[in-house]
Amino acid sequence: MLSNPAIVRLLAAIMAGLLVTIPPVCAKNIYKYQDENGIWHFTDRAPDEPDVEFETVYMEREPEDRVRLRQEGAEHSPMYFVFNDYWGPVEVELSLSEAVNVLSEPALPARFVVPGQTEELLVGLAPQDPQQSFRFRLQLSAVPGPPGSELKQEIVLITPFAQGKAYPVSQGFNGEKTHLGEDSKYAIDIAMPEGSPVHAVRDGVVMDVEEDFNAGGTDLEKYADKANHVRVLHEDGTMALYAHL
């Protein structure tokens, strides 16, 4: 275990206003090693045997969009499906940033809730005047979690680390370093040694995991969109985001 502290951030509030846009380039560690039979292995997990020599290769990759739009149907009457690759619901908004001679069913802009690991038909488009050409540009944005979720008045949270352990809070609510937006104003940063186990503060379902980044820091421009995290969905629809892991 390393002695340098790493920041563990807990967002225990309802996540809102996070648009699914073009994701940043991710990087992943690939471990290369040769087994006792002379076979070379390339994997994202280091070998379990401590005496096995391995080489670490740092590879960039383009991450997949977790909420994806797919078109079906004829050119003059396209239908659009949305697939939610999260393990929990997302609220999707579809809108037309450009529309010439276009009818939509339902009318846009409109919001929809798409369950996790599900694809749904959300909108169909057609020319308002079939004798004329039509042109449009469809936009999609998405927010993880169901809309309208509220915390109960009284709720018990355990610490996000093992019982009997104690770590300093390095930044609290409305922290002036990085807790400057609506999505982070109620975050709590806890300084824990790298390699420390992180525990869930409530029961829930793991909705999303990001583990491909191997560097971090407090420079928002450099690291804000490059944080390893685990998102947990609670039974009341609220979420906790365990970030900067």
Q: How far is CA 2 from CA 52, 138, 169, 205, in A?
A: 21, 48, 19, 30
Is the per-residue pLDDT at 167 higher than 50?
Answer: yes
- Is 115 within 8 Å of 84 (Cβ atoms)? yes
Is the per-residue pLDDT at 238 higher than 80?
Answer: yes
Environment class of 97 (CB within 10 Å of its CB; exposed 0-12, middle 13-18, buried 19+): exposed
* Portion of the chain with pLDDT greater than 70, in percent: 78
> Residue 113 is encoded by which pair of tokens?
């809730």
Comparing C-alpha atoms, which of 2, 1, 5, 3 is closest to residue 244? 5
Q: How far is CA 34 from CA 28, 31, 45, 57, 58, in A?
A: 20, 10, 14, 14, 18
Is the per-residue pLDDT at 41 higher than 90?
Answer: no
Q: What is the pLDDT of residues 70-116, one digit of tens each?
A: 999 999 999 999 999 999 999 999 999 999 999 999 999 999 999 99
Tell me the pLDDT of the chain averaged across its residues: 80
Top-confidence residue, 233 or 25: 233
Top-confidence residue, 186 or 59: 186
Quote the CA–CA distance of 158 and 91 in Å, as a whole number. 28
Predicted local distance difference test score (pLDDT) of residue 185 = 80
> Residue 229 is encoded by which pair of tokens?
């995290």
For the 67-144 domain, the top CATH level (class) is: mainly beta
Q: What is the pLDDT of residues 125-164, one digit of tens each?
A: 999 999 999 999 999 999 999 998 777 777 888 899 998 9
Predicted local distance difference test score (pLDDT) of residue 53 = 80
| Half-sphere exposure at residue 27, Cβ-oriented, CA atoms within 13 angstroms | 13
Q: What is the pLDDT of residues 200-230, one digit of tens each?
A: 999 999 999 887 666 555 555 555 556 788 9
Quote the CA–CA distance of 167 and 190 in Å, as a whole number. 7
Side chain identity at residue 110, one-letter code: A
Predicted local distance difference test score (pLDDT) of residue 83 = 98
CATH 2.60.40.10 residue window(s) in the chain: 67-144
> Residue 142 is encoded by which pair of tokens?
């998405």
- Is 178 within 8 Å of 204 (Cβ atoms)? no
